[in-house]
Amino acid sequence: MLKAEAKKIWEDIHSGKAEEDSAVLSRFLLISFADLKKWTFYYWFAFPALLLDPPATLVDLRPASQWFSLEEAESLSSACNKWRSSSSTAVVPFFLVSIESNSHVTLKHLKDWESCQPHNHKYLFGFYDPCHLPSNPGWPLRNFLAFICSRWNLEKVRFFCYRESRGFADMDLSLIGEALISVSQGWKDRQHMPNAGGWELNRGKELPRLTRLAKSMDPTRLAISAADLNLKLMRWRALPSLNISVLSATKCLLLGAGTLGCQVARMLMAWGVRKITLLDSGKVAMSNPLRQSLYTLDDCLNGGDFKATAAVKSLKRIFPAVEADGVVMAIPMPGHPVASQEETSVLEDCRRLHDLIDSHDAIFLLTDTRESRWLPTLLCANANKITITAALGFDSFLVMRHGAGPLSTSHDIKADDSTANRTLDQQCTVTRPGLAPIASSLAVELLVGILHHPHGIYAKAEFANSTDSGSTEQPLGILPHQIRGSLSQFSQMILVGHSSQSCTACCCTVVSEYRERGLDFVLEAINHPTYLEDLTGLTELMKSASSFKLDWDNEMDNDDECVEI
């Protein structure tokens, strides 16, 4: 690379281009590498310089103020300042200095050298000198001497190293010197390419330099940049349709800040979601930090911090730019009657939950019991919100996206208290530790798929090898309705769940009743365990099912009639 640039300079000298545009003598190279994740930059400059053979001899090098008379120094300073301030000459780094007998100094272009020869003036070859050393001229002098020797066959050259102080000519810093040039005959041959040097040294060695900008930058801005870079790399390399702005603008409400809630929040941030609200009424217990990734032992002390607020603090420690809020609130549940003096507080919680769902774009149902998912499901169906449920068994999980509006999906058919008359181990969520991260990741991936699907929340259920000719796979892959998995079998199934007219949470009957009666309907569902079953016809359905009898024929006449199901 250096040799190629030096060859360009050599060609420009012999072609006469350097005489017309002297800037071509000051070429440079820069090799750089940016480690954008660490904000570390490696760079290496090279300033190609033609090497005279043998090298030029410098004699009588001294400050310009000691070489010129006072009048000449003042005139030269004025001429240099004018040259530098003019838009036509400011970018011309090499020039002629003409000194008349009356001490008047004029700066001229190199192409004027031939026309200046008949005049009885003193001439110097001037150049902008980037060097600050008092006893050394800068590297541009090498190419300048090569040009003068090759172009005009001069063996003795008086040069002027022009230097500035605070933007103006400084004769004390500028240097005047004389160079004696003695080169072989082959030097004048255009085909004879001289050697070149110019790689910048780093501590005396030919090594690149290193600059670390991270130390001087705001850590929060660094975190934002690094997080965005991961997503941009995904878009550049594999997923051009990835809409980062949609992800960052999506407001997510997480109902439950336990094992699932902690994992979902982390996954959302990894996808670039910046607005997250966590709702939970519980406190961090000693058993939580091992499985619930946002909590530490400190959160358990002194009775434990509220999960919602502790989770928010943890999210902001992980990524300071996240807009996270914590809401400490219990979700009213059907089949869990409340005393008359508590009704006002419960209804206020219902209104608050309604407002939270209204103000968010996507809602995750991550609570432990089916009753706690009833009211959020109803409110989401009423508001037509993106809703995703994740639920865990001991070694199995369900991840499901709800459809649009009423009849979006089927909720549990029972509305009674699912925790009543259960032992402690039955009331707690006892699951294999690896289950929650799997289910949480799939839940977030479902949301990202919905946000990038052209039909959004209205997208039909898709599955592998679908026979639906109208279904076309999106860049992120298929968008299923339900994903059920089992760790005991290390298996996963994609299912399509159809809506039910008897769903206690989102069927048209329930949603219509809520829209007509509002919170009175909710309060009745809370205080009367069988109200929802009676309303949706489940009571009659279960009665008719229990009265239905089947007669089984245990006799098998022919073994060939057996069919494996």
Name the residues annotated as catalytic. Answer: 428
Q: Are 406 and 385 in contact (CB under 8 A)?
A: no
Name 522's Cβ contacts closer than 8 Å, sequence gap at least 6.
332, 347, 350, 375, 378, 514
- Rg (C-alpha) for the chain, rounded Å, is 41
111: Cα within 13 Å, side-chain hemisphere:
8
DSSP string, 166-208: TTEE-TTTSEEEEEE----GGGG-TT----EEEEPPBTTBS--
**Three-state secondary structure call for residue 139:** coil
CA distance 283 to 285: 6
CA distances from 8 to 32, 48, 54, 129 (A): 22, 10, 22, 22
CA distance 55 to 382: 88
Q: Report residue 551: phi and psi, to 5°.
A: -105, 125
| Residue 292, burial from CB neighbour count under 10 angstroms (0-12, 13-18, 19+) | buried
Q: Are 476 and 448 in contact (CB under 8 A)?
A: yes
CA distance 493 to 238: 26
DSSP 8-state secondary structure symbol assigned to residue 557: S
Q: Report residue 30: phi and psi, to 5°.
A: -140, 120
Structure tokens at 547: 């009265």
Look-up: residue for tokens 């029972």? 414
Q: How many residues does the chain have?
A: 565
